[in-house]
Amino acid sequence: MDNYEIRAYAKINLSLDVTGRLENGYHLVKMVMQTVGIFDELRFEKTKDGIAITADSGELPGEQDNLIYKAASLMKEAYGISGGVKVSLKKNIPVAAGMAGGSTDAAAALKAMNELYGLGLSLRELQELGVKLGADIPYCLLGGTALAEGIGEILTPLPPVPGAVLLVAKPAINVSTRDVYQELDSHAIPSHPDVDGMLSAIRRGDLEGITGRLGNVLEMVTVERYPVIGRIKSLMLECGAKGSLMSGSGPTVFGIFETASGAEKALSRIRGYDLAPQTFVTEFVNA
């Protein structure tokens, strides 16, 4: 195989709890991850040597700092691949948004190298390599609905959640994941989301049980610092969302609606008030 094309999907967190902190600064988490229908488009081509990336977005870091580069180079090193790869990326996922955009591109690069160079690696082998670059990469390789524990790398696949209309809005602010976690450490967490209750709701296919338990401890830091996040959440709920939450360390907010008309109404109000330049009406995607 000389060419490989893949869609790299974004995720949201239906629930995000922080349960501890390791000595190396990593946080222990308990998160419900869900793939959504927003994706980057990547095309990989086998070359003689080197790693070259062209992207249609100026927002991304240069070649060697790009997670695609890091993933391809890790595969080259780990499996003694002397050949190279040329990558072209169409970036649709908002950057630094809490949607694992970088991690999902890295996961796509691991899969691509596996295919292009006929390595025959299993999902687990790719995940073991991927976690060296980022805690979300093992999940991005898996996709769908899953519980993520540890630093995010211990995964339990879950049944798909019932279908719904999803509105995703990324306000024009940039949030540093590291800063958010650091500030969280200086607070006591007053209440934790009911992750176990959400798992039961997912296992019985109960959308109301899921939307009633959306929760993210990181909102405590970001909603205070960036009021626009709270405004978007309120507006989605006023327009009939069954639930609304910030994803990951933010600033992206999503709302879960039963009907497209509710999501469209919220979308036009978010646009009218100029609260978020990047918006998507989409759905959950299964693994």
Catalytic residues: 11, 136
Contact 39, 92 (CB under 8 A): yes
The rounded Cα 109 to chain-centroid distance in angstroms is: 16
- Cβ closer to ligand ATP: 13 or 239? 13
- Listed ranges 28-36, 91-99, 237-245, 260-268: which one lies at the site for ligand ATP (CB under 6 A): 91-99
Peptide bond connecting 251 to the previous residue in cis, omega within 30 degrees of 0: yes
The residue of the chain with the least Cβ separation from ligand ATP equals 102
- Cβ closer to ligand ATP: 126 or 201? 126
Is 133 a binder of ligand ATP (CB under 6 A)?
no
Among 4, 6, 101, 141, contact with ligand ATP (rule: CB under 6 A): 101
Task: Tell me the C-alpha distance between 115 and 108, whole Å.
Answer: 11
Six-digit token pair at 73? 């180079």
- Cβ closer to ligand ATP: 27 or 269? 27
Task: Tell me the C-alpha distance between 219 and 213, whole Å.
Answer: 14
Is 215 a binder of ligand ATP (CB under 6 A)?
no
Task: Please report how close the Cβ of residue 61 comes to ligand ATP at its closest, in angstroms.
Answer: 4
- Listed ranges 16-24, 63-71, 111-119, 196-204: which one lies at the site for ligand ATP (CB under 6 A): 63-71
Is 100 a binder of ligand ATP (CB under 6 A)?
yes
β-bridge pairing 154-157 and 145-149: antiparallel
Among 17, 136, 153, 219, contact with ligand ATP (rule: CB under 6 A): 136
Ramachandran area for residue 227 (φ above 0: left; ψ -120 to 50: alpha; else beta) = alpha
- Listed ranges 92-100, 185-193, 208-216, 227-235: which one lies at the site for ligand ATP (CB under 6 A): 92-100
- Cβ closer to ligand ATP: 53 or 201? 53
Task: Please report how close the Cβ of residue 254 comes to ligand ATP at its closest, in angstroms.
Answer: 13
Tell me the DSSP string of 49-90: SSEEEEES-TTSPPGGGSHHHHHHHHHHHHTT---EEEEEEE
- Cβ closer to ligand ATP: 53 or 239? 53
- Per-residue b or e along 105-138, where b marks 16 or more CB atoms closer than 10 Å to that residue's CB: bbbbbbbbbbbbbeeebeeeebbebbbebbbbbb
Task: Please report how close the Cβ of residue 13 comes to ligand ATP at its closest, in angstroms.
Answer: 8
- Per CB under 6 A, residues contacting ligand ATP are 60-61, 66-68, 95-103, 105, 136, 177, 248-249
